Amino acid sequence: MKLLFDIDKEGNVMDQDNTIALVPELLAVYKEKNYGSDAIRWIIMMYDYKSPYRQLPYEDRIKTVTQNIYGKLKHYIIDKPLMKDAIDAYKKLQYDPLIDQYNLYTEKITEYTEALRAMDSNEKNLEKQGKIMKTMADFTLAREKVRELILKNENSSAKMHGTDSSQLSFLEERQRLE
């Protein structure tokens, strides 16, 4: 999967990728007074499949990303309709059912880990803990199979879209023949 946007070391979104102009909802957020690049970064850091914050539970992710961008745990623009529209558009643009499934397995593994950690280890809980560990192992195995499919799709997708340096795009091939 190709990343929709790159973010440079200063956190600027528009400098290196004008793709944002093709998505009206994201462009509207970017142009809105007091939103701009920070709001776009917030959306990407919250919802991009490859965000380093993606592994955090959702509520923790909101607090962490908001703190990192705005310097506080809550910010008024996050719940505005303009942001919600942009978030929906961004999620639709990058949606991949395999990655979504992978993320769901990861979230469930995290939930089971937290539940297991909270349990006292005693004779009464041993059977329940064993079931939780078995379920976690099953989720982990399933997640790894999905991960292999994702990587396989990314590699074949790169070749199909002409990003493999040994292949020419349709237009490049036509120009070469003329």
pLDDT digits (tens, 9 = 90+) for 92-119: 888 888 988 988 898 889 889 999 999 9
Per the domain annotation, does 58 fall within a domain? yes
Tell whether the model's pLDDT for residue 77 goes beyond 70. yes
Domains: count for the chain:
2
Record the tokens describing residue 177, joined without a space: 């023949």
Whole-Å CA distances, 13 to 17, 33, 85, 152: 7, 16, 18, 29
Q: How many Å from the N-terminal Cα to the C-terminal Cα in the chain?
A: 32
Report the alpha-carbon distance of residue 117 to residue 78 in Å, rounded.
32
pLDDT class of 1 with cuts at 50, 70, 90: very low
This prediction's pTM: 0.63
Tell whether the model's pLDDT for residue 41 goes beyond 80. yes
DSSP string, 111-158: HHHHHHHHS--STTTHHHHHHHHHHHHHHHHHHHHHHHHHHHHHHHHH
Q: Which of 95, 113, 137 finishes a domain?
A: 95
Tell whether the model's pLDDT for residue 17 goes beyond 90. no
Per the domain annotation, does 172 fall within a domain? no
Q: Per mean pLDDT, which range of 35-49, 51-65, 106-120, 145-159 is the poorest?
A: 145-159
Residue predicted with more confidence, 55 or 10: 55
Same domain, 101 and 90: no
Domain hosting residue 34, numbered range: 1-95
Residue predicted with more confidence, 4 or 40: 40
Query: Which of 94, 89, 62 shows the shortest CA–CA distance to 78?
Result: 62
